[in-house]
Structure 1
Amino acid sequence: MKNVRVVVVGAGVIGVSTAVCIAEALPFCSVTLLADKFSPDTTSDGAAGILFAAKFPDIPVERQKRWFKDTFDHLLAIAQSQHSPEAGVMLSSGWQIFKEVPAERKPFWAESVIGFRFMTEEELKRFPDHKFGHAFTTLKCECSSYLPWLENRFRKAGGHVEQRSINSLQELSNSYDIIVNCSGLGSRTLVGDNQVYPVRGQVLKMEAPWLQHFIRDGDGKTYIYPGMHSVTVGGTRQEEDWRLDVDEGDTDSILKRCSRLEPSLGHGKVLSKWVGLRPSRRNPRVEKELVQLPGRRVHVVHNYGHGGWGVTLAWGTALDALGLVRQCLQEMPPQAKL
C-alpha cells in the first residue's frame, strides 16, 4: 500500500531526475510528476548538456563537489552501459581555453572528470588569442534522448505522470503530503521567488561530423560541443532577457566566434536554431520548508535555480532533494503516513 503522496512539479532535467530518485528509493510513496511541459518542450531539451560547472558563491564547495561527482558518476555508468545510445549519454574529450590565466587554475571539479591536465604550449598554439587551457574528458548528456529515457525509468518505478499547469501550491495542498518544487523559472510565480531570473541562451545545431573534440572558451559564451547526431555551437548569456525568438544577429555572432576557434565550421550546415531561458539564481535553492496553506501545513522541498548547470548538477541535487524528502517523512505525524 502506497501511503505517502508526493508530487514533483517540473519535468526538466532537475524535475525528472528528482522524481526518479524518490520513486526508486521510496517505494512506499506514490510519486506524481506534474508539469505543463514535457520533453521535447522543456528548456533542458535544448541544453548542450556537457558536464562543466561554475562555482556558486554561498554554497560550501564540498557540497558543490558532491553534486558534480554524484551526477558525473551516475552519467558515466550510463555512458559505459548498453543504454548509452538511447539515453543520449556519451564521453566527450576536448579543451577549455582562457584568454587570461584564471584566478583558480584548477576548478573544483577537476578530480571528478577524466584525465584533467593543463594544456601544453604546443596545444595552445592553435588558439593564438588564448594563454591557458584545460584538457580533459567529460560527459555529454543530450536531454532530448535522456529525458524520455529517464521518464520511462520513472514509470517503471511506479511513478505517475500528469500534464497540466498550476499557478500556486494551494492547488496541490489537498491532494499531496509532500510537494517537491523543481519548477525552475516557474518558481517566480509558484513560490514568489524573485531571486530566480532568466538568462537567455541561443544555440545552433550543426552538421559537422568531422568534429570530434569540444572547445569551450572560459568565458562560457563561445563553445563547440560535438554530440551523437549533430554539433551544438553557441552561445549567448543574456541576463533578464525573456525573448524566446531566434535573433539572427546572435546567430551571426555565434558562427563568427566559433569559426574563429574552429575554422572548418565554415563547411558545416546549420540544422536548427534554438532559444531557451536558463533558470538562474545567485545560488540554487535546495532546501525544505513547512508551508502554511489554507487548512493545512504542507512539507515543501525546493530544488531549482541551477542556471546553465542543470544537467551538470541534476543527479547530485536530486539525491539531496531525496534526503530532504526523507527528513520530511520523519517529521510527519504517524497518522499522515497511514
Structure 2
Amino acid sequence: MKSVRVAVVGAGVVGFSTAVCIAEALPSCSVTVLAEKFSPDTTSDVAAGIVFATAFPDIPLERQRRWFKDSFDHLLALAQSEEAPEAGVMMSSGYQIFREPPADKNPLWSEFAIGFREMSDSELKRFPEHTFGQALTTVKCECSIYLPWLEKRFRKAGGKVEQRKINSLQELSSSFDIIVNCSGLGSRSLVGDSAVYPVRGQVFKVEAPWLKHFIRDGDGMTYIYPGIHSVTVGGTRQQGDWRLHADRGDSEAILERCCRLEPSLRGARVLGERVGLRPGRKNPRVEREAVQLGGRRVPVVHNYGHGGWGVTLAWGTARDALGLVRQCLQEMPPRAKL
C-alpha cells in the first residue's frame, strides 16, 4: 500500500514535470496533482516553449547549468524518440541576433545547445539592424500537446488528478503528508510571496509552413518560432501587468517587429492570439520549509517563479524538487511512512 500522501499544487509544465518525477521515482508515495486550471488553460499553454535560458543573480551557476542540462537532455531525448509527435517535442534550428554584441558571448547554456557558434557576416547581412548573432539547434516543446502527454505519463505511474482551486495550504493539511507548491504566479496568494509578480506575454499563432528556422532577438522581445502545427510570433514582457486580454497596440507592434525580421510573415494567416502571465521572480524558488498547518508541521517543497523560462527549466527544477521530497521522507518519523 502506498503510504506517504503527496500533493502537487499546479498543473502547468513545472507542476506536471515535478509530479511525474516524484510518482516515477518514489512508488511508495501516492501523488495527487491539484489545480484550478489544466491544459489548454494554463500559462504554459501560451508559452512558445523554446529552450533558451538567462542567468539568475543569486543562484549558483552550477545549479542553473544543471537545471538547463537536465531539461535539455530530457526534451532532446524525447525529440529524437518515437514519442516525439505524441509528446509535442521537436528540434529547432535558427538564429539569436543582437543589435550590440552581448557582454557574455557564451551563455551558461551554450555548451549544451547543439552546434552553437557565432553567425558569419554573410548570415548577418539578412539582419542589417543587428551586429552580432549566434546560430544553434535547440528544442521546442508544444505545451498544448506536451502537457496532456505528461498527464498521461503521470497517471500511468499511479498519479491522481483533481481539478480544484486551492486557496490555502491549510486546506491540504489533513489529507496530505507532503505538499509541493508549483503554483507559479498563484504563490503570491497561496503562500504570501510578494516577490513573485506577473510578466505579461502576448503572442500570435500564424500559419506559415514555409518558415523552418527560428529567429530570436537577443532582447527576448521579438521572436519567430516555427512549431509542429503553426508558428509562434511575439511578444511582450510587461512586468506587473495583470491584463489577460489581447491589446491591439501590442498586436500591431508585434507584427511590425516580426515582419521587419521576416518579411514573408506579412502573407501569413493569423490563427489566434493569446495572453499569459509568466510568474516573474528575481530567482526561482526551489527549496523546502516546514509550515505549521492544522496544528502540525507539514513539509512544503516550493518549485515556482521561473518567469519566461518554465519550459526551459521545468525538468531540471523538478529533479531538484524530487531530491527535496526525498529529504522530507528521510526525516519523517517511521510511523508516518507505514
TM-score, structure 1 as length reference? 1.00
Which residue in the other structure is 1:304 paired with? 304
Q: Secondary structure, in 3 states, of the residue corresponding to 2:277? A: strand
Question: How much has 1:131 moved relative to structure 2?
Answer: 0.5
Question: Where in structure 2 are the equivalents of 1:1-338 lying within 5 Å?
Answer: 1-338=1-338
Code of the residue aligned with 1:238 in structure 2: it is Q
Q: Distance in 1 between matches of 2:337 and 2:290?
A: 17
1:51-105 Cα offsets, whole Å, 9 max, x none, are: 0001100001111100000000001111111111111100000000000011101
Q: Secondary structure, in 3 states, of the residue corresponding to 2:318? A: helix
1:126-168 Cα offsets, whole Å, 9 max, x none, are: 0000000110000000000000000000000000000000111
Question: How much has 1:294 moved relative to structure 2?
Answer: 2.5
CA RMSD of aligned residues (A): 0.5
Q: Distance in 2 between matches of 1:227 and 1:105?
A: 27
Code of the residue aligned with 2:227 in structure 1: it is G
Code of the residue aligned with 2:244 in structure 1: it is L
Q: Distance in 2 between matches of 1:3 and 1:273?
A: 45
Code of the residue aligned with 1:292 in structure 2: it is Q
Q: Percent identity?
A: 77
Runs of 5+ in structure 2 lacking a partner? none
1:253-277 Cα offsets, whole Å, 9 max, x none, are: 0000000000110111110000000
Question: How much has 1:115 moved relative to structure 2?
Answer: 0.4
Contact 2:203/2:234 (8 A) holds in 1? yes
Code of the residue aligned with 1:60 in structure 2: it is P
Q: Distance in 2 between matches of 1:245 and 1:30?
A: 38
Q: Distance in 2 between matches of 1:230 and 1:252?
A: 19
Q: Secondary structure, in 3 states, of the residue corresponding to 1:7? A: strand
Q: Distance in 1 between matches of 2:66 and 2:156?
A: 27
Code of the residue aligned with 1:200 in structure 2: it is R
Question: How much has 1:293 moved relative to structure 2?
Answer: 1.5
Q: Distance in 1 between matches of 2:19 and 2:294?
A: 26
Runs of 5+ in structure 1 lacking a partner? none
Q: Distance in 1 between matches of 2:49 and 2:89?
A: 9
Q: Distance in 1 between matches of 2:237 and 2:123?
A: 28
1:300-337 Cα offsets, whole Å, 9 max, x none, are: 00000000000000000000000000000011111111
Q: Distance in 1 between matches of 2:151 and 2:293?
A: 30
Q: Secondary structure, in 3 states, of the residue corresponding to 1:290? A: strand
4+ long deviations beyond 6 Å: none
TM-score, structure 2 as length reference? 1.00
Q: Distance in 2 between matches of 1:294 and 1:162?
A: 22
Question: How much has 1:117 moved relative to structure 2?
Answer: 0.3
